[in-house]
Amino acid sequence: MEPIASQNQPPLIYPAPKTETPVEKANLDNEDSIRNSVARVNADMRSMATALESYFIDWNKYPTNLNSLTTPIAYLTQVFGDPFAKGNETLKLGVSEKNYWKTYSVGPDQEDDEAEIIYDPTNGTISEGDIVREKM
């Protein structure tokens, strides 16, 4: 997989693999469904952050793709799907050579901003931006 370079950002964003398990999509017509999906994405990214740091402790580097977190050692039992992505995509991962990582969901606007625009629910439930978690 060739990384997609994010403009003026140190991490490289790798294309997200397709999930084999169907992802329960957010109902964008229902605010409760959107809030629940945002909470689920945040919880999944917390679990992913723990897995990334565990991987780093074992290998002294961060993985370059999400599948490395499931095999051969199961830091995660599965790669988390993105409920806001238009297909069966997973949460996205970006890693730099300077021990920096970023994971994100495309967010309720369903636009992939490559984590350049951060989602803020105070701007409205379906506001633009990606839901981001990062280690700097």
Q: Is the pTM here over 0.85, yes or no?
A: no
Split the chain (136 residues) into runs of 10 and give each run's mean pLDDT: 45 52 64 88 95 94 91 92 89 87 93 91 88 90
CA 114 to CA 32: how far, in whole Å? 25
Tokens 């599948």, residue located: 67
User: What contacts 24+ positions apart, CB below 8 Å, involve 52-60?
Assistant: 52/101, 52/103, 52/135, 53/135, 56/99
> So what's the pLDDT on residue 123?
86
CA 81 to CA 48: how far, in whole Å? 12
> So what's the pLDDT on residue 112?
92
Tokens 């379906």, residue located: 126
> So what's the pLDDT on residue 97?
76
Contact between 15 and 1 (Cβ < 8 Å): yes
Q: Where are the domains of the chain?
A: 4-135
